[in-house]
Amino acid sequence: MTASGAEPIADAGAALGRLIESLVISYSLDLAVATFTLVADYPDRAPGAQRSFVALQFSSVRGFRRYRGNLAELQASADTYSTADSPSPIVIQHLSTTGDDGDRHVELWFGPNFGGVAFSYGGMAGFIRHARTEERDGDWIYRDARTGEAFDFARPFAGALDRS
């Protein structure tokens, strides 16, 4: 477990398959290290947690494509997206994976307004973070369910997944 409370997931591929209709918190493509990181709401929660988040890091990424949707205000999001910066939330409406070890392909569709992304990748790692929530003066506060550490909803894995 990292200091942030993020825990590795043994089967990242199975976690990816659970993300249909999940809220996308963020995604980012880092061409310098050929990675794509997807952070989303996760349906499986630890006992006592009100919400869970998953981060999937795809490695050896190549052939990235952004399929643009029909909503002009979402066209600027190409290789990055964040709920903190977007006027409209998106969810994973469809996903498909093909290929085998070392040569896999994924397509993620976020709906007709946003569009989607597709790319090939060599490997994937996953991390999960469970949260307790509380409302205070109309604002939601997220705390790690195990450590009690407060964190930003739009950046639940901040510091935990940064490359060194």
| Dihedral (CA of 81, 82, 86, 92) sign | positive
Range of 132's domain? Answer: 7-151
**Residue at 158 is within a domain:** no
Asked, for residue 159, whether it belongs to a domain, the answer is no
Sign, Cα dihedral of 124, 24, 146, 160: positive
Strands 35-42 and 51-59: antiparallel
Per-residue model confidence as pLDDT tens digits over 125-148? 999 999 999 999 999 999 999 999
Domain presence at residue 32: yes
Give me 86's structure tokens: 């977007």
Tens digit of each residue's pLDDT (9 = 90 or more) over 58-115: 999 999 999 999 988 887 778 999 999 887 899 999 999 999 877 899 999 999 999 9
Give 164's contacts (C-beta < 8 A, 6+ positions apart).
none
The total of structural domains in the chain comes to 1
Q: Is residue 164 part of a domain?
A: no
In a domain, 117, yes or no: yes
Backbone dihedral angles phi then psi of residue 49, each to the nearest 5 degrees: -90, 140
The reply to whether 19 falls in a domain is yes
